[in-house]
Amino acid sequence: MKVAALQMVSTPRREDNLATARGLLEQAAAQGVEMAVLPEYFGAMGARDTDKLALSEQPGEGVVQSFLAQAARELGLWIVGGTLPMASTAPGRVRNTVLAYAPDGACVARYDKIHLFRFDNGSERFDEGATIEPGDAPVQFRLRSRDGQAWCVGLSVCYDLRFPELYRQHARAGADLLLVPSAFTHTTGQAHWEVLLRARAIENQAYVLAPAQGGRHENGRRTWGHSMLVDPWGEVLAVRPEGAGVVAGLLDRERLRQVRLQLPALEHRVL
């Protein structure tokens, strides 16, 4: 199955970002991609953290959800929109939510980001917990590719990448592919992004597809980019350092089987 990570450099303007996302989805479809995954905050990277509150949507309705469902139907793609702000019961907060859509436009899975990023090195400061209410449960969904093969897909977002226990739960559920839509800062991404992605692939013997924000944003933030596809042996199959674009590659069921057969680490788990 051919999949793609869509890299963006989102602005504070939702309409502009959705137009960019649509263009990238069309490029992916033209390349024969069956599932395309958008990065964290693809709809908007606001000037302030609180800007996302005004863009929050209720389940089943809203500009971004309509956009994703329509694009999936018109392009015949599985589309994973990671992420958009969804309404929360906590005052002054939203959920940072991944939604997965089937080619018929139906929403088949929702995951709310569990781990919330906090970082302060003296010059950069982030605290997602100030505006985001965390989720509390891992989520997988299953699909059949055009050749009839079944794939189990585990969902995660950005900072989740630092918590291997989440991905181990995906592995226990049978995940073949782990998705990590992200907006890693340039500082943390340069230090840790690739090594963490490759580690999650290796230890769970699964493909990892990680679409990212990648560049200098209008709000002054710089994101690391390097959207990539990693195979179950930890080999980077495709990567894009910076700028908007499509990072496409093939998931090979036989490669997955060989890795798990020659080194059956998942069967050797004790804890």
Q: Are 198 and 164 in contact (CB under 8 A)?
A: no
Catalytic annotation on 124? no
- Please determine, for residue 194, whether its predicted confidence score (pLDDT) is greater than 90: yes
Annotated catalytic residue: which of 34, 40, 128, 133? 40
Query: Where in the chain are the domains?
Result: 2-268
pLDDT per residue as tens digits for the range 85-98: 999 999 999 999 99
pLDDT per residue as tens digits for the range 34-76: 999 999 999 999 888 889 999 999 999 999 999 999 999 999 9
Q: Are 2 and 248 in contact (CB under 8 A)?
A: yes
Cis peptide bond N-terminal to 83, omega within 30: yes
Annotated catalytic residue: which of 34, 52, 57, 113? 113
Annotated catalytic residue: which of 128, 133, 158, 242? 158
- For 160-169, letters b (16+ CB in 10 Å) and e give bbeeeebbbe
Q: Look at the pTM and tell me if it is higher than 0.85.
A: yes
Other CB atoms closer than 10 Å to residue 201's CB: what's the count?
26
Catalytic annotation on 152? no
Catalytic annotation on 40? yes
Domain 2-268 has CATH 3.40.50.170: no
